[in-house]
């Protein structure tokens, strides 16, 4: 009887582990949007998927328990992460960082628009300096500013690491999209900054692709 009980317990544990794993994968997939193949200035891009939202403090903390979550910012985009931190997180969840061309396609499609929603700026559609928050917003904020693919906050909130070097010298990595303390002119789909990959800042985060 004791042996049978142990066997039954092992089966139940295995079932719950499998169920939890499947649920985690399903959740990760449901938080992504599909981006159709297309051509942007940087070149042709094959179809892929990208996270609908920036990676949050809570998500990153589940990967690195030593990473502190600021009070009340569990669902805000994670910041103070290096390019390598972002790369490792994406790998951990079975994804990767998007290339610059992929990020651009996900943010604006193929019609050359200035912002994810169109060519006219609207402070109600993005967290920029004009919004007056002076800090990050939750990743599900500004649904009206969604890109053609359905991704949110690809203008403002935080600059986002992409898997692209700034030049052939391969010293700096690019961050795209602007942040909460940048003016609208610096929060367009084409906006970019270069950063040393092992630097971390309060205005740089990321999202994953697949």
Please give the chain's pLDDT, 210 residues, in tens. 444 544 445 444 444 444 434 334 334 446 999 999 999 987 899 999 999 999 999 999 999 999 999 999 999 999 999 999 999 999 999 999 999 999 999 999 999 999 999 999 999 999 999 999 999 999 999 999 999 999 999 999 999 999 999 999 999 999 999 999 999 999 999 999 999 999 999 999 999 999
The torsion angles phi and psi of 41, rounded to 5 degrees, stand at -55, -35
Contact 110, 148 (CB under 8 A): no
Contact 75, 56 (CB under 8 A): yes
For the question of whether the overall pTM of this predicted structure is more than 0.75, the answer is yes
> Please, what is the average pLDDT of the chain?
89
Question: Which residue in 143, 202, 205 sits closest to 176, CA to CA?
Answer: 205
Residue 26 is predicted with a pLDDT of 37
For 117-137, write each residue's pLDDT tens digit: 999 999 999 999 999 999 999
The span from the CA of 73 to the CA of 71, in Å, is 6
Contact 88, 161 (CB under 8 A): no
How is the chain split into domains, by residue range?
Answer: 31-205
**According to CATH, what is the number of the domain 31-205?**
3.90.1580.10
Q: Please classify residue 120 by burial: count the beta carbons closer than 10 Å to its beta carbon, then call 0-12 exposed, 13-18 middle and 19+ buried.
A: exposed
């Amino acid at each position: 009887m004791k042996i049978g009980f142990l066997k039954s317990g092992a089966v139940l544990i295995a079932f719950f582990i499998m169920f939890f794993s499947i649920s985690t994968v399903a959740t990760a997939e449901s938080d992504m949007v599909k981006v159709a193949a297309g051509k942007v200035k940087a070149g042709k891009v094959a179809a892929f998927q990208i996270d609908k939202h920036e990676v949050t403090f809570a998500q990153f903390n589940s990967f690195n328990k030593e990473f502190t979550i600021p009070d009340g910012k569990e669902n805000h985009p994670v910041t103070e992460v290096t390019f390598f931190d972002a790369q490792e997180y994406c790998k951990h969840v079975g994804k990767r960082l998007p290339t610059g061309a992929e990020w651009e396609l996900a943010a604006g499609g193929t019609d050359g628009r200035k912002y994810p929603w169109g060519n006219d700026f609207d402070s109600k559609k993005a967290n920029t300096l004009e919004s007056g928050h002076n800090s990050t917003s939750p990743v599900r904020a500004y649904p009206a500013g969604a890109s053609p693919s359905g991704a949110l906050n690809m203008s403002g909130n935080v600059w986002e690491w992409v898997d692209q070097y700034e030049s052939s010298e391969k010293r700096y990595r690019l961050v795209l999209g602007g942040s909460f303390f940048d003016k609208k002119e610096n929060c367009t789909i084409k906006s970019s900054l270069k950063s040393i990959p092992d630097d971390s800042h309060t205005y740089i985060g990321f999202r994953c692709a697949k």
